[in-house]
Chains A and B, each alone.
Chain A
């Protein structure tokens, strides 16, 4: 940490039609030579703050200086000193890697020998040299981010602003991105890393935690985490009963947070509450309670207040699926080829009733292809996909009637009101008349959507969009739910609420299949299949996967460690 690169003093920015300022009286300083994490839920004002620092927006009041200059009146100087990588890659997808770099070099007037040196440095830094001739649009998510970073670094800046650089990037690429940014800070560049992932915020030297435009914490991550000492517990040995444990914990006084981590449930208590003991769960399950060190996310939830609803009212009204023995979702030797490229190679697994099954894997590994074949969006080249006993490729319409689907991006009709969206999806799934009315009433009540019925779906706050999407997917009470990266880019509070609903569904017998590369999400799964290079390279419970990579050097691996170790082991096998 050296001198302050950015000084903010009572900075305010309002947008018309917003209830509170996007940036409300923020006073702080950002230092050079380290990573400053900018964390907070969606809509907290992180992007607005970055855009103010860049001079892309004009503050309503307050003062701001960047490297001792005013970002508006001395824009040209500031832009020479500050590099920015926006959330959506600022890349031209129809240009090659080199052409993109050349374009940014032209824009930054980096020419001749300087340009040659910069390209050489950046291509080796990002390992993109072998892909120079490839179109940016054909790169994987992680490689796009690396190219985006390279374009931002054409001229070495003093300050680098990264807006959620790891959203949609798999763990392997994420780790690489971190390594690259660390190299930069070692050179003395100041970095601001905006993120919705709290494990990332925890790794920064300093954190600025924002909520509703206000700065609610600034300082080292451990400063915040240390407040939580003695309040975090693992409930172990819950096994099959862990969802019941979580549901009953959510109702206990003093519990502010609970998440499932493999076979365990992690519980956080309010300040001053009596510590948790196994006695508390006597009625539910035989368990063991051990205190665990707090993490940054515990502190975050503590600061922002819990969002876990006591019980999901939605699932309570869901009809129970028939308790039959056979698998609900089955993939038999599923294969899909695109020309000479095999996107999925003989993938097989089966999912039982009331199970959460996760498909994990890096971008482009084939998990989306597999997922699409299972919900009938893509026809398999060979093999069979069965849902609720029906062959998806043959009895497509009937099979689709048994499944609920939630896409990764917001996929409802933004110009239609909430009520119109609900009516449409109810109608599409064949609900008419009184049945439709009842279904719509049931979900609006369970998800507290009454207030928003006449609001356009596109104008809803992020958390409500998520709720509405889930509503539309479950209105016809499907026995199977397909979730495609359901909470990527969603803040921890909304994520918890979402999973509370999913857990309740599962307890009433609904089967859930989820793709994710967000490893917190994978912890909720009963079983996981790790897909890499079009094949399933490992399968089992989250704890099985962790156990499989346990070594002396790594006695307590996280799921992310397991993911990376397994992928690297496979790489070695292929190389050998």
Chain B
């Protein structure tokens, strides 16, 4: 029977490869996604437009403005003529923030009085506004410190120096790509397996396969293994892009990552085959995949931390295989996750895989005999 199982795997690989549309969906789209999403799904705020209303027009105010202009985060600085310009600038989204330097600014500074500047932010994009505020505060603080030093004053007694571990330059690519890697691995494994049975049903070859001496277990094994091979091949490509094109480091052990990935993919393929056994057309299968993927990814910690969720929901996420793999993938890329931490996420994954594969087998048998 070994040769017949092998024939089935070869057939599955060929069927996926020879269908041109399928080939593009499976091969090209994850590569494009990893490249586009890496740059699009970033928390970083770049290219901010800042509007400045300088009522002080002194050397110091000009110095402050030129620092904003020199900062890489603020690509454009526009000048406003009066207070009445502020509201329309924010309203029309011409600028994300307005820096308002009052008339008293340089006088107060010379008089060694606290000098205030006002920063008005567009709260409609709250996240970007918050990050922009951080940049602005940093620039102002630095000027503050220099002025104090020049005047022979002592600086503030203690200063917080932040250092970001595992990502020393706070490069957001480093934090988004490993998560994206986990999500794309999931999508590919899921799509290939979910389409496999549904495609045969839709195109009419399913019964021909069923009357062959292959048992239903062998049919499922052939489909699961070919999906596994395809998914591993693709994640390898994505990993190479991540490491050599996007420059994300791989600190952890490749062997551990691949080992964990196989267990994880089996759990995903189990779900995929379950969906496929239920669907009679490829369209239904794709809808099924979407129904699973959207919540599973939202509850995985890929975009929003699991620790921010309510307790009961956090407990629920433990049965979500994506959640475990996101931890493993981020850990493997950035911080050489120790084997015991991986193991803590691996045994739930193994249980989930056993459960989903058994469910798929049961449903497949139930629907076909």
Inter-chain CA distance A425–B205, complex, in Å, is 12
In the complex, 28 of the A-B residue pairs with CB atoms within 8 angstroms, ordered by the A residue number, are A376-B211, A396-B215, A397-B213, A400-B213, A403-B211, A405-B207, A409-B204, A411-B204, A411-B208, A413-B14, A414-B203, A415-B14, A415-B18, A415-B19, A416-B11, A416-B14, A416-B18, A420-B11, A424-B7, A425-B212, A427-B6, A427-B10, A428-B213, A429-B4, A429-B213, A430-B1, A431-B3, A482-B211
Inter-subunit contact B215/A397 (CB<8 Å) = yes
Which interface residue of B10, B208, B210, B214 has the most chain A CB atoms within 10 A?
B208
What distance in Å separates the Cβ of A469 from its nearest Cβ neighbour in chain B? 8
**Interface set of A (CB-CB < 8 Å, partner B):** 375-379, 396-398, 400-401, 403, 405, 407, 409-417, 420, 423-432, 456, 472, 482
The answer to the question of B297 belonging to the interface, with a C-beta cut-off of 8 Å to chain A, is no
List 18 extra interface pairs beyond A400-B211, A424-B8, CB under 8 A: A376-B211, A377-B211, A398-B213, A400-B213, A403-B211, A411-B205, A412-B205, A412-B208, A420-B14, A425-B212, A427-B3, A427-B7, A427-B10, A427-B11, A428-B4, A428-B214, A430-B4, A472-B208
**B15 contacts chain A at the CB level, 8 A cutoff:** yes
B111 an interface residue at 8 Å Cβ cutoff? no
Which of A375, A396, A415, A431 is most buried by chain B, counting CB atoms within 10 A of its CB?
A415
Tell me the nearest residue of chain B to A457, going by C-beta.
B205
Q: Is B36 an interface residue (CB 8 A)?
A: no
Taking the closest CB of chain B, its distance from the CB of A145, in whole angstroms, is 21
User: Is B294 on the interface with A (CB-CB < 8 A)?
Assistant: no
Selected from A413, A415, A428, A456, the residue in CB contact (under 8 A) with B212 is: A428
List residues of chain A with CB within 8 A of the CB of B206.
411
Is there a chain A Cβ closer than 8 Å to B151's Cβ? no
A378: nearest residue on chain B (CB-CB)? Answer: B369
- Does A407 lie within 8 Å of B3, measured CB to CB? no
- The answer to whether B15 touches A413, judged by C-beta atoms less than 8 angstroms apart, is yes
Alpha-carbon distance A316/B204, docked complex (angstroms): 30
Taking a contact as CB atoms closer than 8 A, the residue among A377, A397, A409, A430 that contacts B3 in the complex is A430
Interface residues in B176-216 by Cβ distance below 8 A to A read: 203-215
Q: Which residues of B contact A412 (CB under 8 A)?
A: 205, 208
Instruction: Name the residue on A nearest B2 (C-beta).
Output: A432
Total CB contacts across the A-B interface at under 8 A: 86
Contact of A375 among B3, B8, B14, B211 (CB under 8 A): B211
Q: Nearest chain-A residue to B21 (Cβ)?
A: A415
Chain B residue nearest to A476 (CB atoms) is: B213
**Residue among A397, A424, A425, A428 with most chain B CB within 10 A:** A428
Report yes or no: B204 in contact with A407, Cβ–Cβ below 8 A.
yes
Name which residue of chain A comes closest to B7, CB basis: A427
CB-CB under 8 A from A397, the residues of chain B are 213-215
> Could you tell me the distance in whole angstroms from the C-beta of B141 to the nearest C-beta in chain A?
63
Chain B residues closer than 8 Å to A472, beta-carbon distance? 208
Alpha-carbon distance A200/B211, docked complex (angstroms) = 35
Chain A residue nearest to B214 in the complex (CB): A428
Contacts of B8 in A (CB 8 A): 424, 427-428
* Contact size range, B: 20 to 34
Instruction: Please report the C-alpha to C-alpha distance between residue A376 and residue B203 in the assembled complex, in whole angstroms.
Output: 20
Q: Per-residue 0/1 for B96-138: is the Cβ within 8 Å of any A Cβ (1 yes, 0 no)?
A: 0000000000000000000000000000000000000000000
- CB pair A407–B207 under 8 Å, yes or no, is yes
Q: How far is the CA of A115 from the CA of B309 in the complex (A)?
A: 58
User: If the complex has contacts A413-B15, A424-B10, are A405 and B211 also in contact, measured as CB distance less than 8 A?
Assistant: yes
B6 near A415: Cβ-Cβ < 8 Å: no
- Min C-beta distance of A335 to chain B, whole Å: 16
Quote the shortest CB–CB distance from B207 to chain A (angstroms).
5
3 A-B pairs closest in CB distance: A427-B7, A405-B211, A432-B3
Residues of A within 8 A of B3 (CB): 427, 430-432
Q: Bound state CA distance, A375 and B209, in angstroms?
A: 12
Which residues of chain A are near B15, meaning CB under 8 Å? 413, 415-416
Inter-chain contacts of A426 with B (CB < 8 A): 7
Chain B residues with CB under 8 Å of A432's CB are: 3
Residue B207 contacts which of A411, A420, A424 (CB distance < 8 angstroms)?
Answer: A411
Complex-state Cα separation, A252 to B145, whole angstroms: 111
Please report the C-alpha to C-alpha distance between residue A402 and residue B203 in the assembled complex, in whole angstroms.
25
A184–B214 Cα gap in the complex (Å)?
A: 52
| B262 → chain A closest CB, angstroms | 25
- Assembled-state Cα–Cα distance A376/B207 (Å): 10
Please, which residues of chain B bring their CB within 8 A of the CB of A379?
Answer: 369
Q: Which residues of chain B have C-beta atoms less than 8 A from A375's C-beta? A: 211
B369 to chain A: closest residue by CB: A379
Quote the shortest CB–CB distance from B230 to chain A (angstroms): 15
| A427 adjacent to B369 (CB under 8 Å) | no
Contacts of B10 in A (CB 8 A): 423-424, 427
Q: Given the interface contacts A411-B204, A423-B7, A424-B7, does A456 sit within 8 Å of B18 by beta carbon?
A: yes
Interchain CB contact under 8 A, B213 and A430:
yes
A410 in contact with B213 (CB, 8 Å): no
- Once the chains bind, are A401 and B211 in contact (CB under 8 Å)? no
- Minimum C-beta distance from A91 to chain B (A): 17
Quick one: closest A residue to B200, CB to CB?
A413
Cα of A456 to Cα of B15 in the assembled complex, Å: 11
Between A401, A409, A411, the greatest number of chain B beta carbons within 10 A of the residue's beta carbon is seen for A411
Q: How far is the CA of A456 from the CA of B18 in the complex (A)?
A: 9
A429 and B208 contact, CB distance less than 8 A:
no
**CA of A377 to CA of B215, assembled, Å:** 12
Who on chain B is nearest to A376 by CB? B211
Nearest to B210 among chain A residues (CB) is A377
Smallest beta-carbon distance B3→chain A, Å: 4
Interface centre among B19, B203, B206, B368 (most CB of A within 10 A): B203
Which of B6, B15, B209, B212: most chain A Cβ within 10 A?
B212
Q: How far apart are the CA atoms of A282 and B179 in the complex, in Å?
A: 83
User: Which residue of chain B has its CB nearest to the CB of A472?
Assistant: B208
For B4, B206, B215, the residue with the greatest tally of chain A CB atoms inside 10 Å of its CB is B4
Q: Which residues of A contact B18 (CB under 8 A)?
A: 415-417, 456
Give complex CA distance A424, B5 in Å. 10
Known A-B contacts A412-B205, A424-B7; A429 and B14 likewise in contact (beta carbons under 8 Å): no
Report B127 CB to chain A, min CB distance, Å: 44
Residues in chain A near residue B209, CB distance under 8 A: 428
Taken together as a complex, chains A and B put the C-alpha atoms of A423 and B9 apart, in Å, by 12
Which A residues lie within 8 Å of B210 (CB)?
376-377
- Say whether A429 contacts B211, CB under 8 Å: no
The closest CB in chain A to the CB of B212 belongs to A428
| B residues less than 8 Å from A456 (CB atoms) | 18
Cβ contacts under 8 Å, B11 to chain A: 413, 416, 420, 424, 427
A411 to B209, CA, bound (A): 9
Contacts of B204 in A (CB 8 A): 407, 409-411
Chain B residues within an 8 Å CB radius of A414: 203
Contact status A400-B203, CB under 8 Å: no
